[in-house]
């Protein structure tokens, strides 16, 4: 296989090693033996029925857990139930494996379509790969937030169809933290999807941080996991090239950004997050573009965090429930 790529050689100094070894502390609360308590999250999606909330509450309370928040959604025109609960528990009383089995029993009892439990302090972080084209603003923002511990993921690699010189700021950041950068130039007839699949096979989901390529249905089926994309506007407006210039010339008064799941139809996947900001005649193209890029960064990060915190659930065909 003729794979053209650049692997940035790790050059990890003491500061990076310190970051890598940093451990997460248990959540502390003003009641009970706070030092031993951990924080859990559980999401549930099943056909609606009587007693679901009671059973979920009893499952947690019977093992000494304490529910902190509980969100429930039951649509009026659809016989389905959605919930997300956050709770504290003592792992000495309720071991992690036993917790999984208890929630699995509930899943079988109510024929759940989705039942996921996560304990962020002890469960592995989600592994992601970030794909990007020429524009760096979203990627750089993700790297800085990850570096500061404000992004709950492990970035395993960055893949791009745009070459970057060794002195580029992004390359310096990646080299500093030992994150490999793969350059896979694409053409209309060669999207390098086989090579990309090989590089991302062990990730939990993908992030397209302004990756200006459309994946085929075969790629989406082969990968089989979620892909989060950021779009430069409130879909479906201003598609194609130079979106900021299009919107600026149209004299819009509101600009936006949309983060959504990738589907087989271009820019038609279920929406996770949208953000807007006002602009006016006082903006020039430079300030207009800057505001747009800032929205894209914020919107993408919010979507990734919501996804990692189990706040996003599929709803109907092309919608989401976001708690």
Cβ–Cβ under 8 Å, residues 128 and 205: yes
Nearest to 178 by CA among 158, 150, 163: 158
Q: Which residues are catalytic?
A: 267
> Between vectors from CA 210 to CA 168 and to CA 201, what angle results, nearest 5°?
90
**Residues ≥6 apart with Cβ < 8 Å to 164:** 170, 171, 181, 183
What is the sign, positive or negative, of the torsion defined by CA atoms of 223, 226, 228, 233? positive
**Residues ≥6 apart with Cβ < 8 Å to 289:** 244, 248
* Token reading at 197: 């699949």
């Amino acid at each position: 296989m003729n794979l053209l790529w650049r692997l940035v050689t790790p050059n990890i100094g003491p500061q990076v090693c310190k970051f890598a070894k940093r451990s997460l502390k248990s959540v502390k609360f003003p009641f009970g033996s706070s030092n031993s308590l951990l924080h859990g999250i559980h999401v549930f999606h099943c056909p609606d029925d009587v007693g679901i909330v009671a059973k979920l509450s009893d499952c947690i309370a019977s093992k000494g857990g304490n529910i902190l928040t509980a969100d429930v959604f039951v649509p009026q025109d659809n016989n389905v139930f959605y919930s997300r609960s956050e709770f504290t528990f003592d792992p000495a009383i309720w071991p992690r494996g036993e917790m999984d089995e208890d929630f699995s029993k509930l899943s079988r009892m109510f024929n759940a379509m989705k039942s996921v439990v996560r304990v962020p302090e002890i469960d592995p972080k989600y592994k992601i790969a970030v794909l990007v084209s020429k524009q760096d603003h979203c990627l750089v923002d993700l790297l800085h937030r990850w570096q500061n511990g404000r992004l709950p993921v492990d970035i395993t690699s960055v893949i791009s169809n745009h070459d970057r010189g060794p002195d580029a700021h992004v390359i310096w950041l990646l080299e500093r933290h030992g994150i490999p950068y793969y350059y896979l130039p694409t053409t209309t007839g060669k999207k390098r999807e086989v090579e990309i699949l090989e590089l991302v096979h062990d990730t939990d989901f993908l992030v397209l941080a302004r990756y200006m390529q459309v994946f085929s249905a075969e790629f989406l089926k082969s990968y089989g996991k979620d892909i989060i994309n950021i779009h430069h506007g409130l879909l479906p407006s201003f598609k194609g090239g130079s979106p900021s210039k299009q919107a600026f010339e149209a004299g819009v008064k509101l600009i936006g950004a949309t983060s959504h799941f990738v589907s087989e139809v271009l820019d038609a996947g279920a929406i996770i997050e949208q953000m807007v900001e006002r602009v006016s005649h006082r903006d020039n193209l430079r300030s207009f573009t800057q505001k747009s890029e800032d929205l894209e960064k914020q919107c993408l990060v919010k979507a990734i965090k919501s996804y990692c915190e189990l706040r996003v659930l599929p709803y109907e065909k092309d919608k989401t429930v976001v708690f």
